[in-house]
Amino acid sequence: MHEMSITQSVVEICEKSAEGRRVLSVTLEIGNLSGVVPDAVEFCFEACTRDTLLEGARLVIDQVPGRGECSSCGKEFPVRGYFDPCPACGAYGVRVVGGEELRVKELEVE
């Protein structure tokens, strides 16, 4: 489960940003195409925050839908995977333009 190491990294980033202050809540953006399972991050969060500035903090996860742009016709559209065809022209040359995010969006501290 790579979500454990990802969650540990998120905790480290938040602790550095908090500069010694207690963290009340963390908002993450996780793209649907990022390969990260939000439920697994939630599961790992409590264990990773034990005895840290984030212990007891609320975790909010905003899921970012996948978006693609067709290299043939230029249409932008929602995608669920990397190999979805363009709904307008049927081409498979689609460039992912959204949904791969994994970032700390917001941090609330005391």
31: domain CATH number is: 3.30.2320.50
Segments forming the whole domain that contains residue 7: 3-65+99-109
Check pLDDT > 90 for residue 46: yes
Rounded Cα distance, 109 and 11, in Å: 13
Summarize the confidence of residues 21-44 as an average pLDDT: 97
Q: Would residue 24 count as lying in a domain?
A: yes
What is the DSSP-derived secondary structure letter of residue 34?
S
Q: Would residue 94 count as lying in a domain?
A: no
For the segment 69-98, what is each residue's pLDDT rounded down to a tens digit?
999 999 999 999 888 899 999 999 899 999
How many structural domains are present in the chain? Answer: 1
pLDDT for the residue 23: 98
For residue 62, what are its two tokens?
Answer: 């905003």
Q: Would residue 50 count as lying in a domain?
A: yes
Instruction: Look at the chain and count its residues.
Output: 110
Q: Would residue 56 count as lying in a domain?
A: yes
pTM: 0.87
